[in-house]
A and B are shown apart, each in its own frame.
Chain A
């Protein structure tokens, strides 16, 4: 072993044993462990959640087409080792017992579904259990509602088109059933082989063909790339799990963003911890370097000795961090095993590589500048102890550190927006803090005059160590800000999820309630102690014209869409409602709500009524404010003008409408009504009884869907709690590292103050005051910066509604003062107990 390496190794060994390296080592361990555990855990959780959301499209990818999908396309997929399944869906009529009903017919082949499962039940409207099979050629699996409408039982025959099927199962659920209250006819599942004999997909019928694919991401991407050129926007739609715009898709996307954010913050915190620890490490090595130089060591020898040391520390830190991070993640996953189905079988390499990369980059980049300073320590320091490193400017260090942090953030997130938002808020905070520090110094100058009290001593100390304190203040505030951001994000995300589906959310929808039944239904429900919601009038209208442009058939709606959200056009059939009140979770973003409009005061052209349009539909159909929309309802024509645009929260389980007209437009039409109600689990057996008097009314059960969403939200919330704890631990450690870093200086000051006769209680109080002041200022600054970064994150990244968090403006300074005060007092407790002689000896 070369001299430098052996010397480095000896220094490393002894220093590690004596605890000299513990902080820097700990910081590296922390960075690697938190990044590894967070990213490993989130990768696993994402895997589990993605798998879960894949169930909602019944595959990893789905191709939906209005024309039959070419056989060669499917063969091409099989050639790429993809699993393929197919479904053909159409509307048709089912006949039985002299009754007929429009049905949503789904013909599937035996591979369907590739993800998730078909569920069948033993009794009507019951939660089903998964079955691995599909109906055989002459079987039909039928929705509970059809049993009611056609008055059939298991074993009965039903006619669909030219074929007769035997009803063999109550169909409870298929994975990609989708969720749309309107046009939801009872579903009937048959075998794809039986479809030709039913003869229901001939000319004039609207058919949707779906092909499902699963396989490796690489193969799926390759397939999509090969197929892309052949797809026609009007005919085809390619769906992947990430495209899921349902409540679940949004939840998963938001959770992923949150994990990303938390991991990013963990990296930043770790970098700060390493930077702080490295600075202290370098300072503590000024003497050894000066001694070695005095004894004849060249700068290159010293450089090698310390670079070897950093390498040893980094390697040890990365190894320990990997093991600890893995154990930590394992503990979290085991603790969550009851709620989150996270597989431990798969080992993800990406998090490990990221963690090692992060550890190395953090260790090298954040140690480098303090080390460069260390190399420049002059040998003359052995005689003149005040001579330290000749660092030309601290600007270089800040620039390097800033760029390194930004680089890591971007490398990790691959998301420029998130990185820029966090980084810029950090910079704003640093700027604010520098200003605040100068303010403090000025204030301290005024307060620090006169006889020494503990508080004045604290101010005097803050003033004296202005630069060190500003660095300390900045790092406290940054840490508090990052912790606040994660905490508030977590609260807001979880709260918004909970608000979306509060307890008692309607779990059944009723459509086709007639005008005559309206009052009777409400009375009947009230008598049965079931609270039904508002009844919304609905009339089907044909969307005929936008201004003078007659709508073309291309805009025809694809009926089998999973969510109303994704329609490429509204189509000619539209559900129109009318109301004077703006519905909950609707917000006017342009124009004015027509509640106050009257025909007498109207400024609209004659015979034209106001209509409020959902904003995204307006965008998709290129409809502007003021456009005249014409609907044909029966033989009548209704002309409307767009007087407002609304955003609608589609994630709420309530009836939502694209078009809301002014009631005056619709006086001559007899609507049907839609309403919803909540029936608790234990009262479900009463359901049939409850709706029996209203045979014509269609009942739509969304309980299963709500429960699915709720369980995913609960799982993700639980995971977020754990991540919050991890980030909190990381943040606290930075605070400890920062306090530790100022220990040498404090030791010197204490020795001097003690020697000069200051009482122990005075010194103790002054130290605590100092930390309280710094903590509360840091807390306040953190609350300010937090507000900025939250606003940007929530509005730009998480697509959430934003709000001011006034409570944190009080909580943050208080928490900052308490936490930093306690940490400071705890870290200094040993120092405060030392007697003067020991303190003086330690200074030598």
Chain B
């Protein structure tokens, strides 16, 4: 589902070019769940941004569902994200001026799904917030906001789901609920999951774990097939 080939990311700084990702190559199979773990600043969010087509590689190749992300412009990548990718973020990233239901409808509307409202209501019920559809994000607790975000991620039945520290802003109980919900929906829809976290416990729930250190993918879990540093 995801294939990277020697991807490198360099950024310009006042002191010249800085390579923040060393050449990275790995593959994620369809339906697989992969955790990218690492300390803050290790480059895991940068990698996630590249994999999801939010950012562009400096060199190397990324294929997302066999589409060459590295050759696409912003518009093409946006279209690909809309069609195949779902997102969950640490800070929820809900549109504050839309209700919970409207936030969930948003990707459905953008990608032109039929009956977005009905679909949004169904998935809202699934995350247990059927009665909170008309509430605005600031009227919901952190756990509820993340559940809305999960519902928004799944409404388009994406092939790949990227989650960036999905429980990073939540307390233990809410974290647990959100984790359960995330994995349950993932299993139900057979989605490929790429999850960035520094929470080892959460990472262990994924089939594979990739570890980032200082821009390098230095360690991979025992049952991985091909990955290189």
Q: Which residue numbers of A lie inside 8 Å of B, CB to CB?
A: 3, 6-7, 10-11, 14-15, 18, 20, 287-288, 290-299, 301, 378-380, 382-385, 844
Pairs A–B under 8 Å by Cβ, sample size 22 = A3-B112, A11-B95, A11-B98, A20-B97, A287-B95, A287-B96, A291-B93, A291-B106, A292-B95, A293-B78, A295-B81, A295-B152, A296-B83, A296-B107, A297-B82, A379-B54, A379-B78, A382-B54, A383-B45, A383-B49, A383-B164, A844-B169
**Contacts A3-B112, A382-B93, A383-B54; A295 near B98 (Cβ below 8 A):** no
Q: State the Cβ distance, A65 to closest chain B Cβ, in Å.
A: 72
Q: State the Cβ distance, A586 to closest chain B Cβ, in Å.
A: 68
Q: Which residue numbers of B lie inside 8 Å of A, CB to CB?
A: 45, 48-49, 52, 54-55, 74-75, 78-83, 85, 87, 89, 91, 93-99, 102, 106-107, 109-112, 136, 152, 164, 169
CB-defined contacts of A7 to chain B, threshold 8 Å:
106, 109
Whether the pair B91, A844 counts as a contact (CB closer than 8 A) is yes
Q: State the Cβ distance, B150 to closest chain A Cβ, in Å.
A: 14
CB-defined contacts of B109 to chain A, threshold 8 Å:
3, 6-7
Whether the pair B54, A295 counts as a contact (CB closer than 8 A) is no
Q: State the Cβ distance, A373 to closest chain B Cβ, in Å.
A: 16
Complex CA–CA separation, A687 to B122 (angstroms): 98
Whether the pair A296, B45 counts as a contact (CB closer than 8 A) is no
Complex CA–CA separation, A660 to B95 (angstroms): 81
Whether the pair B136, A298 counts as a contact (CB closer than 8 A) is no
Whether the pair B54, A296 counts as a contact (CB closer than 8 A) is no
Complex CA–CA separation, A261 to B148 (angstroms): 54
Q: State the Cβ distance, B89 to closest chain A Cβ, in Å.
A: 6
Q: State the Cβ distance, A790 to closest chain B Cβ, in Å.
A: 45
CB-defined contacts of A382 to chain B, threshold 8 Å:
54, 87, 89, 93, 164
Complex CA–CA separation, A3 to B49 (angstroms): 27
Whether the pair A295, B106 counts as a contact (CB closer than 8 A) is yes
- Name 17 extra pairs, CB < 8 A, besides A15-B97, A383-B54: A3-B112, A7-B106, A10-B98, A11-B97, A14-B99, A14-B102, A20-B97, A294-B52, A295-B81, A295-B87, A295-B107, A296-B79, A296-B85, A297-B82, A298-B79, A382-B93, A384-B49
Q: Give the top 8 A-B pairs by smallest Cβ distance, nearest first.
A: A296-B82, A295-B107, A15-B97, A380-B54, A288-B95, A14-B97, A297-B110, A296-B81
Complex CA–CA separation, A290 to B74 (angstroms): 12
Complex CA–CA separation, A293 to B136 (angstroms): 21
Considering only CB atoms, which chain B residue lies closest to A297 in the complex? B110
Whether the pair A295, B97 counts as a contact (CB closer than 8 A) is no
CB-defined contacts of B55 to chain A, threshold 8 Å:
378, 380
Q: Is the interface of A mostly helix, strand, loop or mixed?
A: helix
Whether the pair A383, B89 counts as a contact (CB closer than 8 A) is yes
Considering only CB atoms, which chain A residue lies closest to B116 in the complex? A3
CB-defined contacts of B164 to chain A, threshold 8 Å:
382-383
Complex CA–CA separation, A10 to B75 (angstroms): 24
Q: State the Cβ distance, A842 to closest chain B Cβ, in Å.
A: 9
Complex CA–CA separation, A6 to B79 (angstroms): 20
Task: Pick the contact of A298: B45, B78, B85, B107 (CB < 8 A).
Answer: B78
Q: State the Cβ distance, B5 to closest chain A Cβ, in Å.
A: 21
Whether the pair B87, A294 counts as a contact (CB closer than 8 A) is yes
Q: State the Cβ distance, B29 to closest chain A Cβ, in Å.
A: 24
Task: Pick the contact of A299: B75, B87, B107 (CB < 8 A).
Answer: B75
CB-defined contacts of B78 to chain A, threshold 8 Å:
293, 296-299, 379
Task: Pick the contact of A295: B48, B99, B110 (CB < 8 A).
Answer: B110
Complex CA–CA separation, A3 to B112 (angstroms): 8
Complex CA–CA separation, A727 to B111 (angstroms): 48
Complex CA–CA separation, A3 to B91 (angstroms): 27
Considering only CB atoms, which chain A residue lies closest to B142 in the complex? A844
Whether the pair A296, B110 counts as a contact (CB closer than 8 A) is yes
Considering only CB atoms, which chain B residue lies closest to A291 in the complex? B93
CB-defined contacts of B110 to chain A, threshold 8 Å:
3, 292, 295-297, 301
Whether the pair B82, A14 counts as a contact (CB closer than 8 A) is no
Complex CA–CA separation, A293 to B98 (angstroms): 16
CB-defined contacts of A291 to chain B, threshold 8 Å:
93-95, 106
Considering only CB atoms, which chain B residue lies closest to A15 in the complex? B97
Q: State the Cβ distance, B169 to closest chain A Cβ, in Å.
A: 7
**Contacts A3-B110, A298-B75; A287 near B93 (Cβ below 8 A):** yes
Q: State the Cβ distance, B174 to closest chain A Cβ, in Å.
A: 14
CB-defined contacts of A288 to chain B, threshold 8 Å:
95-97
CB-defined contacts of B45 to chain A, threshold 8 Å:
383-384
**Contacts A18-B97, A382-B93; A296 near B75 (Cβ below 8 A):** no
Complex CA–CA separation, A439 to B119 (angstroms): 59
Complex CA–CA separation, A18 to B48 (angstroms): 34
Whether the pair A296, B111 counts as a contact (CB closer than 8 A) is yes
Q: State the Cβ distance, A102 to closest chain B Cβ, in Å.
A: 84
CB-defined contacts of A3 to chain B, threshold 8 Å:
109-110, 112
Q: State the Cβ distance, A558 to closest chain B Cβ, in Å.
A: 73
Q: State the Cβ distance, B190 to closest chain A Cβ, in Å.
A: 20
CB-defined contacts of A14 to chain B, threshold 8 Å:
97-99, 102, 136
Considering only CB atoms, which chain A residue lies closest to B152 in the complex? A295
Which of A292, A296, A378, A385 counts the most B-chain CB atoms under 10 A from its CB?
Answer: A296
CB-defined contacts of A297 to chain B, threshold 8 Å:
78, 82, 110
Q: State the Cβ distance, A19 to closest chain B Cβ, in Å.
A: 10
Q: State the Cβ distance, B55 to closest chain A Cβ, in Å.
A: 5
Q: State the Cβ distance, B113 to closest chain A Cβ, in Å.
A: 10
Q: State the Cβ distance, A188 to closest chain B Cβ, in Å.
A: 80
Considering only CB atoms, which chain B residue lies closest to A843 in the complex? B91
Whether the pair B136, A18 counts as a contact (CB closer than 8 A) is yes
Q: State the Cβ distance, B22 to closest chain A Cβ, in Å.
A: 19
Complex CA–CA separation, A385 to B92 (angstroms): 12
CB-defined contacts of A384 to chain B, threshold 8 Å:
45, 49
Complex CA–CA separation, A737 to B199 (angstroms): 44
Whether the pair B82, A295 counts as a contact (CB closer than 8 A) is yes
CB-defined contacts of A20 to chain B, threshold 8 Å:
97
Q: State the Cβ distance, B158 to closest chain A Cβ, in Å.
A: 10
Considering only CB atoms, which chain A residue lies closest to B164 in the complex? A383
Which of B75, B91, B95 counts the most A-chain CB atoms under 10 A from its CB?
Answer: B95
CB-defined contacts of B87 to chain A, threshold 8 Å:
294-295, 382
Considering only CB atoms, which chain B residue lies closest to A6 in the complex? B109
Complex CA–CA separation, A294 to B79 (angstroms): 10
Q: State the Cβ distance, B212 to closest chain A Cβ, in Å.
A: 14
Considering only CB atoms, which chain B residue lies closest to A293 in the complex? B78
Whether the pair B98, A380 counts as a contact (CB closer than 8 A) is no
Complex CA–CA separation, A287 to B95 (angstroms): 7
Complex CA–CA separation, A385 to B90 (angstroms): 11
Q: State the Cβ distance, B160 to closest chain A Cβ, in Å.
A: 13
Complex CA–CA separation, A499 to B49 (angstroms): 74
Complex CA–CA separation, A295 to B97 (angstroms): 17
Complex CA–CA separation, A380 to B164 (angstroms): 12
Q: State the Cβ distance, B207 to closest chain A Cβ, in Å.
A: 23
Q: State the Cβ distance, A834 to closest chain B Cβ, in Å.
A: 14
Q: State the Cβ distance, B155 to closest chain A Cβ, in Å.
A: 10
CB-defined contacts of B54 to chain A, threshold 8 Å:
294, 378-380, 382-383
Complex CA–CA separation, A489 to B99 (angstroms): 51
Complex CA–CA separation, A191 to B114 (angstroms): 89
CB-defined contacts of B169 to chain A, threshold 8 Å:
844
Which of B75, B107, B110, B152 counts the most A-chain CB atoms under 10 A from its CB?
Answer: B110
Complex CA–CA separation, A384 to B111 (angstroms): 24
CB-defined contacts of B93 to chain A, threshold 8 Å:
287, 290-291, 294, 382
Complex CA–CA separation, A844 to B137 (angstroms): 11
Which of B45, B74, B85, B106 counts the most A-chain CB atoms under 10 A from its CB?
Answer: B106
Considering only CB atoms, which chain B residue lies closest to A301 in the complex? B110
Q: State the Cβ distance, A132 to closest chain B Cβ, in Å.
A: 67
Complex CA–CA separation, A294 to B164 (angstroms): 13
Q: State the Cβ distance, A757 to closest chain B Cβ, in Å.
A: 23
Complex CA–CA separation, A296 to B106 (angstroms): 10
Complex CA–CA separation, A382 to B93 (angstroms): 7
Complex CA–CA separation, A3 to B89 (angstroms): 25
Complex CA–CA separation, A292 to B110 (angstroms): 8
CB-defined contacts of B75 to chain A, threshold 8 Å:
298-299
Complex CA–CA separation, A296 to B81 (angstroms): 5
Considering only CB atoms, which chain A residue lies closest to B81 in the complex? A296
